[in-house]
A and B are shown apart, each in its own frame.
Chain A
């Protein structure tokens, strides 16, 4: 190598080295800067703008209340952006949020609030209407709750109760308080205030009381059994209608044995009672018995010959309904039925046997109505039929009644406070169907082989209790929507889908879910329900979950019994979280070997921290404390299925 080349090579090397050193330093600086930025930057989502309220996942207002509100009513609202929950949660009533954030587990489920917006009434010329609802000429704007002033304890109301009215400016709040009462408070004080809100736990506490109230109502109706006989049809008169027309109020029209081809109109408070073998047979055109007066009683009769019009009527007996849904009410309640009662408070039907192609009993605007010990045979073709008992706006009692076929055995519409108990329902499309009906008790009914859904609570009502029912052989056993409801002690057996949990902020406890294709499905958007003390046995799949975050089905350290979840391997007391939707956990009760695989340290390591950010975790159910033995042994034994205790060391083949 000649001298020049050598010198060049060495020089090039020196340049290369310097360049490299510079590049290296630059790279190190760049990486350091990037790392510094990564840690320095504030990742708390920069205060998101308020969302359109109708796009939030909202709670605090039933669909019916929403539909019934006048257009100019502007209810106070809040919307919260949480650190973990990806949807914006909308609250009707600021107090709904205040109570919700106080619930145990709220922070674990949603994280902390990044920002809370509330309605600002400062620019709206707010007034209160006759119901106490705020009425405005322009929609309220949104304001950060931290910056708002609240009028607490004024005359303002929402359909759910007392209402806080927020303002951006303190003077506006004080002006409002001067007119409508109340005190002006800051957000901090409001968060510490408590508001009277009935939740699922109070629904549970009221079940007994609801039974007693229903007993009283039924006892009251049975006093109509004792009205003195004033007319005997077959002796005093030939037709029942003639008897009704002649009978004084508060007396009984007695019908002797025989078939009477009549359709009747009852417009006075009497009792219509048959002797053994008394049959009223309509002309298969229209309703057979139409009642338009209060306290009418129908006893001990057989009724058939009902017209075929299941729905689609153009008029109703009695006063026309008046409301946002009057057309719909007419379509349904004006249709044909064996007994059709309108504006007939205290009407009661007992010991009656009905055969109908369309409807059995229609009750509209008749609070305190009682249907007791009736048998209703509906249309075998449910597409031609509607309801066995149809109740519109008439809280009352339907009990100890037997339903066969038809479409909906019991159809409840806008009848808050209804009690439906001890009925037997077989066949048909839907068993007990609640529309816009809250505060109701559906208890101890037995439903077999209802085609579609045994008990179906639709349209977002609040505070229903579904307790002690037995549902088997349906596509969907019990489907509860709405919120703040109590679903307990039911025996849900051999359905395709056992329990559909669509009601949030609810309690689901002490149910037995046996031999369903799918035991339970949690379909709520908000993970706010309490699911505890239930028994899942012999279901192909114990439980699954729809969209939304992780649900923890454990409350106060107790979970549910899941067949297969625990074994002697899990210690005394056994401790092991169970995830029914997990591919391995979910097979432990059906697949040999799954129980061994499920206890692999790799899976434990993966599951170890999964509840750290519940609200962000993808849809899944986890029970942190599954129970060793069934929680409801008697109810489970009645199904004939056996469940094993996790402490059993001997294997018994079913």
Chain B
């Protein structure tokens, strides 16, 4: 009786319009189920987890400790997380459009932003489950695989700590949901399956390579001043993520030097990508 998809349908006509939160929650639930049922996502998740575990081991990080593992995983994850996030999101709204569900949904008393937010949160749950689960497995691998110090010498934990790895996981999650928002936006803008794939690939190229190169060009040509580089890097999600990991994980162990990131700017950068992309998606759906 409490099936959220059937009961509200019955109650719609007779009663007041459900709250915004409920509307979103229903879409979230639908997306969550879609993600859970779709075999492609399961395969993607397993593949990603295997690759991340393999990388952590191959980099030698798991035998060194949490911080070396972070250092080993950082660059590969900068590339893999956007690809995974794109895979999770790029068909989310296009799929609805393809099947005509979007038109049906537009007859429902659900606003575009509620729909977009619902889709986004639903997909994010699936994406974060994959990323956090694989990083949790990596952390467990560190517990078991790290080389024990030689017993007859006094040893200490140095600055290595699972807390630092937890920070890395949180930052990776933040990075992933930012790229997911971009994917949702693409999915909303391009309503055809054929264009959405092309757009997704093009966006990946821009995000993975283009933005950082633009920063390099900006610095070299003087458009970005020396003093503002630390804030400008927040403009590229990859650099924002990398800077945050350096600043909150690696520097703790490595010591002083030029600042690697302005944490606030970088967080704002990632949030801007997230919120901006969702706004674009909303506009596109409303169209």
Contact = CB atoms under 8 A, between A and B. Distances in A.
Contacts of A20: 25
B161 A43 contact: yes
User: Sorted from nearest, which 10 A-B pairs have the closest CB atoms?
Assistant: A51-B154, A55-B154, A112-B255, A618-B64, A618-B63, A605-B75, A88-B154, A83-B159, A606-B59, A43-B161
21 contacts: A12-B1, A17-B19, A21-B21, A24-B25, A38-B167, A39-B167, A45-B156, A51-B156, A82-B158, A83-B158, A83-B254, A86-B158, A87-B154, A88-B155, A114-B158, A549-B64, A610-B72, A612-B71, A618-B61, A619-B147, A620-B60
Interface string A16-44: 11001100100000000001001101011
B76 A602 contact: yes
A606 B75 CA distance: 7
Contacts of A573: none
A454 B163 CA distance: 49
Interface string B84-125: 000000000000000000000000000000000000000000
B79 interface: yes
Contacts of B154: 51-52, 55-56, 87-88
B158 A10 contact: no
B270 to A, nearest CB: 14
B1 A9 contact: yes
Given A43-B163, A83-B253, A83-B255, A605 B68 contact: no
Given A605-B79, A619-B147, A111 B64 contact: no
A593 interface: no
Given A83-B253, A616-B253, A88 B153 contact: yes
A491 B106 CA distance: 81
A613 B256 contact: no
Nearest to A601: B79
A578 to B, nearest CB: 15
A292 to B, nearest CB: 45
Contacts of A24: 25
B67 interface: yes
Interface of A: 9-10, 12-13, 16-17, 20-21, 24, 35, 38-39, 41, 43-45, 48, 51-52, 55-57, 81-88, 107, 111-112, 114, 525, 547, 549, 602, 605-610, 612-613, 615-620
B71 A17 contact: no
Contacts of B259: none
A45 B76 contact: no
Contact of B159 (A12, A84, A87, A107): A84
A607 B74 CA distance: 11
Given A9-B7, A86-B156, A613-B67, A43 B252 contact: yes
Given A43-B163, A83-B158, A112-B256, A608 B150 contact: no
Contacts of A606: 55, 58-59, 72, 75-76
A38 B166 contact: yes
B195 interface: no
Contacts of B68: 613, 616-618
B2 interface: yes
Contacts of A43: 159, 161, 163-164, 252
Contact of B149 (A48, A81, A86, A608): A86
Contact of B11 (A13, A107, A610, A616): A13
Interface residues of B, number: 51
Contacts of A88: 153-156
B254 A84 contact: yes
Contacts of B2: 12-13, 16
B63 to A, nearest CB: 4
B237 interface: no
Contacts of A547: 147, 150
Contacts of B256: 112
B192 to A, nearest CB: 32
A617 B60 contact: yes
Nearest to B254: A613
Contacts of B22: 17
A141 B64 CA distance: 33
B197 to A, nearest CB: 23
Nearest to B159: A83
Contacts of A35: 170
Contact of A525 (B64, B153, B160): B153
A226 B167 CA distance: 81
Interface string B120-134: 000000000000000
Given A86-B65, A619-B147, 16 more contacts: A13-B7, A13-B11, A17-B19, A43-B252, A45-B156, A55-B154, A81-B158, A85-B158, A86-B149, A86-B157, A86-B160, A112-B255, A112-B256, A525-B153, A617-B68, A618-B147
B200 interface: no
B157 A612 contact: no
B72 A609 contact: yes
B232 interface: no
Interface string B45-84: 0000000000100111101110110011011100100000
B34 interface: no
A84 B163 contact: no
B165 to A, nearest CB: 10
B150 A81 contact: no
Contacts of A85: 158
B75 A608 contact: yes
